[in-house]
A = this chain, B = another copy of it.
Amino acid sequence: MLKIEEIKKLQEILMNSWPAHHYYFLNGWIMRFTEGVTSRANSVFPLNYTGNPNNLERDITFVEKAYQAYNLPAIFTIPDYFEPDNLDVKLIEHGYQQLGCITHTMIVPVQKLRNEIINDEFSYDFYSERVNKISSFLSKFSKRDLQAQNVLDRLASRIIIPQKRYIIAEYENKVVGTLMGVLDSHGFLYIADVLVDPDIRQQKIATSMFFKIINEWGIPNRAQRIWLQIEIENMEAMNLYTKLGLEKAYSYYYLEKHLVI
């Protein structure tokens, strides 16, 4: 697969695995709106641009008005490939600034995974929906509160075409970790929402959930490649997944402009 095609493909699968509440289409760009919860569900995906490059400024202004209509800042996802090719420069001229750090999209074919042993001091249960236990655990230990988790519950209910599974790790009936897997029918298994109780780290719970979902659900359902996204600041995750065999496919970051509302 060529680089550009791979980026377009994976960014599309990402949109499908993380379906926004509302969409708006402008000259090939896809705008997403989800009550402001997660940048990826509230940003423009500029994978194709069929507009006139001379009107780029007008289109950027249009995007800003559109996000304003939702009371949201305008955010563009900027992967290694985007259209038109001067978009990033124009956005910076327009006052956009980088939001957060760069994210790496990491991928590995299942044959190249370096398997690890499951830590079976913990129990690992599969769920086909994003049950309340997951959102309440994530609201406690992630940066998103319960209200934001409820937006993500509704987002997850829109995942109809790809298959999805959740894993909850427990110790003495107490949730200690969660993980989501979304399996595209082209065999891409996307892993997200991996979180372990910070009090019980270094127990290989994340690794165990990762291999549980791959070996017991992904591979029997024809997963061929495993992929996920890591903010490069997250050294712990970066080290873990690199050790397991995942390699960077491409990276992206967000450019954001806060609008006067």
Contacts and interface: CB of A to CB of B under 8 A. Distances in A.
Given A5-B50, A27-B12, A22 B158 contact: yes
Interface in A30-71: 30, 33, 47-48, 50, 52, 62, 65-66, 69-70
Interface in A7-31: 8-9, 12, 15-16, 19, 22-28, 30
Contacts of A28: 8, 48
A240 interface: no
Contacts of A62: 185-186
Given A69-B161, A160-B70, A161-B66, A15 B19 contact: no
Q: Within the oligomer, what is the number of copies of this chain?
A: 2
Interface string A133-175: 0000000000000000000000000101100000000000000
A22 B19 CA distance: 8
Given A160-B69, A185-B65, A23 B24 contact: no
A52 B65 CA distance: 35
A185 B15 CA distance: 26
Contacts of A33: 160
A154 to B, nearest CB: 12
Contact of A19 (B16, B19, B23, B69): B23
A186 B59 CA distance: 10
A9 B27 CA distance: 7
Contacts of A161: 24, 65-66, 69
Given A50-B5, A50-B8, A16 B25 contact: yes
Contact of A16 (B5, B24, B52, B65): B24
Contact of A48 (B19, B50, B70): B50
Contact of A26 (B12, B65, B158): B12
Interface of A: 5, 8-9, 12, 15-16, 19, 22-28, 30, 33, 47-48, 50, 52, 62, 65-66, 69-70, 158, 160-161, 185-186
